[in-house]
Amino acid sequence: MFGMTKKQFLKKSKNCLKESGIQLLLVREIFNSEGKGEISFDDASNNVDKIRKNLEDIFFKYEALKPPSKCKSLQLEIMKTLIILQDVLVLNSEYIILSKEGSKVEGQEKFEKSIDELENFRNKFRKLSQKVDLYLRQ
């Protein structure tokens, strides 16, 4: 069995980024609701867990791809970026746990760190999306 062509891999990469973008929007919605106090900790926790599971599925499907050797670095770059979003979700879960326990200051620090890391993810995500789009146009 032959491996994927570069074009096939780039299309799969674009699809992975599209699916991840949807999860990003859901995360931002939760963060906005948390920041405004519009969502309970239990609801936020359930939503974060669902997003985490979706993101794991996206990651493992993408990781299983067998790209051409010249595209391996792109695959690793996308996977590292997805890990950043996973870390954001972990930080937010820690914020929820600390807030439930009444550790407001520590919880707020985790929340702020999760927002900073989310911004880091968004910047890398945007650059990767542009890179994949550019490669697909060639």
The per-residue pLDDT for range 89-109, each reduced to its tens digit, is 999 999 999 999 999 899 999
Domain assignment present for residue 67? The answer is: yes
In sign, the C-alpha dihedral spanning 117, 132, 62, 53 is: positive
Q: How many domains does the chain have?
A: 1
Tally of CB atoms within 10 A around 28: 13
With beta carbons less than 8 A apart as the criterion, state whether 47 and 30 touch.
Answer: yes
pLDDT in tens, the chain (138 residues): 467 899 999 999 999 999 999 999 999 999 999 989 999 999 999 999 999 999 999 999 999 999 999 999 999 999 999 999 999 999 999 999 999 999 989 999 999 999 999 999 999 999 999 999 999 998
With beta carbons less than 8 A apart as the criterion, state whether 83 and 54 touch.
Answer: no
Domain that holds residue 128: 6-137
pLDDT of the residue at 3: 76
What is the pTM assigned to this prediction?
A: 0.91
Domain assignment present for residue 1? The answer is: no
Q: Which two tokens stand for residue 18?
A: 């599209």
